[in-house]
Amino acid sequence: MSVKKGLIFGFFFAFLVLGVVSMKRAMPEAKEERIYKAIKVYSPYKLEKRMGGLTIVNTQNGTKEQPVSADIMHRFDEVEKAWGKSHLQVQENEVIVSGENNQTVVRIFIENEKEREFLKKFYGI
């Protein structure tokens, strides 16, 4: 094998590895679907489409945040985690979603240990 072919294959392999690494870094965290969807209904943060990409909107006060497109999902996870730490509680086999005045909005049943681990890992509760 000549040096030229080795360089071509080397560059191809390097770009392939860099592409895979950047794709993994851009992916948001894995979520437990059932419990996340049930909690997400009560979260004040929503994604809104705009011409240049996506915007994070706080529906309580109408503030909008426009992070860079590559970081939008990571930033959305961060604001949801911050909201969850202050508005979610785990008591026995239930997640309690609290409102702004610390009043219980809803109780969501935790079905299995995977959902409990997701709550600990993602929301830190």
Span 31-69, pLDDT tens digits: 999 999 999 999 999 999 988 889 999 999 999 999 988
Span 14-24, pLDDT tens digits: 999 999 998 88
Question: Which residues on adjacent β-strands are paired with residue 54?
Answer: 49
DSSP state of 122: I
DSSP, residue by residue, 80-93: HHHHHHHHEEEETT
Model pTM score = 0.81
Taken in order 93, 97, 98, 103, the sign of the CA dihedral is negative
**Is residue 122 pLDDT above 90, yes or no?**
yes
Where are the alpha helices (H) located in the chain, listed in sequence order?
Answer: 3-26, 33-40, 72-87, 113-118
Residue 3's pLDDT band (cuts 50, 70, 90): confident
